Amino acid sequence: MAQPALSTIDHASELAQHKFKYFEFLMAATCVIIVCSNIIGAGKVAEIGGYSFGAGVLFFPLSYVLGDVMTEVYGYARARRVIWAGFASAIFAALMAGFITAMPAAQGWNVDVGGIDKQTVFELNFGQAPRIVLASVLAIWVGEMANAFVMAKMKVFSQGKALYQRTIGSTIVGQGFDTLIFYPLAFAGIWSWELIGSVMLANYCLKVLWEIILTPFTYKIVAALKRAEGVEVFDKDTQFTPFTLK
């Protein structure tokens, strides 16, 4: 059975008037992934088979996959709004974690757990240093913006062909910025430069590998969403400044 033709939108005014069905769900999913990766996975180094890597790398790249999907289906302007939403969510989560960690613990709650009081355990889990929070949110913002920009520009240049080149190419650039910003800013002087370098390289390779592995799923999600939304978006007259929510 033939699929219905998609309506092409390449003007910002037309895009602003179109009503999308699933955009908000992808925005919510992206914010959840960013917040969870930032709080749960940012500070732990795992080791498998002799290779050290940041534990968050197993889940954080999903935000880039969703970023690719949103830019491809909904265009750069809406992807930019999602990035700002994720950025704000990460800041709020970090501030909330810091505030609650700093609150004095009730004696009835702060009991000894295996030789360590609960407050200390709580601080170890949620008491991130301000520099780690700053490095994380800055890396997320720059990396995601770069990812969306490259994705949108490559789509116009390729006239919508070869989706895999856009998803992988944008991830190479976006994750590169993310990795280069986060680890030196967060851990210089805390970790050795040798560890920082090895974790950066391992994480970057894993992030790009994740994108390649998930490419078939990205194709399916993009195709399904385009059919559901009924449009094909090209950012031909989009304003590519990252400093707006329009």
CA-nearest of 232, 71, 90 to 149 is 71
pLDDT tens, residue by residue, 219-230: 999 999 999 999
In terms of pTM, does the model score above 0.95?
Answer: no
| 12-16: average pLDDT | 78
Q: Are 57 and 200 in contact (CB under 8 A)?
A: no
CATH topology of domain 7-102+119-233: Arp2/3 complex 21 kDa subunit ARPC3 (1.10.1760)
Confidence at residue 42, expressed as pLDDT on a 0 to 100 scale: 60
d(CA 77, CA 148): 9
62: number of Cβ within 10 Å:
18
The residue among 103, 106, 70 whose CA lies nearest residue 86 is 70
- Non-local (6+) Cβ contacts of 34 within 8 A are 60, 63, 86, 89, 90, 140
Report CA-CA distances (Å) from 240 to 54, 77, 104, 146: 31, 8, 46, 10
26 close to 82: Cβ distance less than 8 angstroms: yes
| Average pLDDT over every residue of 197-225 | 92
Residue 10 pLDDT > 90: no
The secondary structure of 161-182 as a DSSP string is --HHHHHHHHHHHHHHHHHHHH
Among residues 81, 80, 191, which one has the least CA distance to residue 135?
Answer: 191
pLDDT, position 1:
44
Q: What is the mean pLDDT of the chain?
A: 88
In the predicted structure, residue 154 carries a pLDDT above the cut 80: yes
* DSSP assigned state of 55: G
Residues 15, 230 contacting (CB under 8 angstroms): no
Residue-wise pLDDT for 167-201, tens only, equals 999 999 999 999 999 989 988 988 899 989 998 89
